[in-house]
């Protein structure tokens, strides 16, 4: 039987299975709180956006699969894309729309958009939530026009990732309890092979939060929770490259013609 976890940090003790998408409804108020339960998604969105090249033509389209509340949007400002977000969770899409994303409620494994429509497809922190992740990869590649760019980040299917991203991170304020099902983590080699099958040569690199910034952030949060005050302003931890892809990794690839 699957593990279960309390999902409602902000709204009470509803108990849901791991990776149940209803957790995003319970946590809807957290998306845009820079120091809230989804803080790390903000840091990752900034790092993902850095992989997105400026648009090379007018009306270029970026499709953001599993866009959540549109945290990528501010980091794309000035790059010249129309930003379309696809997600299962309506409460998240409402917030994405408020941040300028054109939203489509749908499943990343069957996206209601035409072949080759996208100059860029982003799949940030999505694949490790999709039981049939190869189908989401096939969809991402199908949406890309030849020469289009795929950017993604996800968690690797390793014992170290399960230790760090579930057992440790779920005890810290960086990852909501129960949000991940470690059985769904994405083997990096299998992901590269799947992308290649669909015409995208994916390059990977490991990433992690910068240690000093992360410790300073945890300290600011701990002090604020002791005094029940707001978290004092400070630089958000940066996401930096690391040699190993064993836990968290980014991928970038170009769709062949
Ligand atoms: C960890 S959040 C990441 C959100 C966003 N990409 C970000 O980085 O801020 C995962 C998102 O994927 C969505 N999701 C999960 N499974 C999905 C699926 N099969 N199709 C579309 N969206 C899905 C969830 O609703 C949630 O908004």
CA 213 vs CA 6, 40, 193, 210, 216: distances in Å:
28, 12, 34, 6, 5
Ligand 1 atom with least separation from CA of 136: 19
The model's pTM: 0.93
Q: How much distance in Å is there from the Cα of 68 to the middle of ligand 1? A: 5
Burial class, 41, CB count within 10 angstroms (exposed 0-12 / middle 13-18 / buried 19+)? buried
The pLDDT tens digits for 204-214 are 999 999 999 99
Compute the distance between CA of residue 35 and CA of residue 178 in angstroms, rounded to an integer.
Answer: 19
Most distant CA pair in the chain: distance in Å? Answer: 58
What six digits make up the tokens of 78? 């000035």
The pLDDT tens digits for 53-78 are 999 999 999 999 999 999 999 999 99
Residues with CB under 6 A from ligand 1: 21, 24, 41, 44-45, 66-68, 71, 86-89, 92, 107-109, 124-126, 129-130
Backbone angles phi, psi at 139, to 5 degrees: -65, -45
3-state secondary structure string, 151-196? EEEEECCCHHHHHHHHHHHHHCCCCCCCCCCHHHCCCHHHHHHHHH
């Amino acid at each position: 039987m699957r593990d279960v976890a309390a999902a409602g940090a902000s709204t009470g003790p509803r108990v849901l299975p791991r990776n149940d998408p209803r957790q995003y409804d319970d946590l809807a108020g957290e998306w845009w709180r820079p120091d809230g339960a989804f803080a790390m998604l903000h840091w990752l969105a900034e790092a993902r956006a850095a992989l997105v090249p400026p648009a090379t033509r007018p009306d270029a389209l970026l499709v953001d699969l599993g866009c959540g509340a549109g945290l990528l949007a501010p980091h794309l400002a000035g790059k010249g894309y129309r930003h379309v977000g696809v997600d299962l969770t309506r409460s998240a899409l409402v917030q994405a729309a408020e941040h300028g994303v054109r939203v489509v409620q749908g499943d990343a494994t069957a996206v209601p958009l035409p072949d080759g429509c996208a100059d860029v497809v982003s799949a940030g922190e999505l694949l490790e939530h999709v039981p049939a992740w190869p189908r989401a990869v096939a969809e991402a590649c199908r949406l890309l026009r030849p020469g289009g760019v795929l950017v993604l980040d996800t968690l690797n299917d390793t014992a170290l990732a399960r230790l760090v991203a579930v057992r440790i991170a779920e005890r810290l304020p960086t990852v909501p309890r129960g949000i991940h099902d470690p059985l769904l983590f994405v083997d990096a080699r299998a992901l590269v092979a799947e992308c290649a099958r669909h015409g995208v040569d994916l390059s990977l690199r490991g990433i992690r939060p910068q240690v000093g910034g992360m410790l300073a952030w945890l300290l600011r949060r701990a002090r604020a929770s002791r005094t029940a005050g707001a978290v004092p302003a400070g630089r958000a931890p940066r996401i930096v490259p690391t040699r190993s892809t064993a836990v968290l990794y980014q991928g970038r690839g170009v769709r062949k013609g």
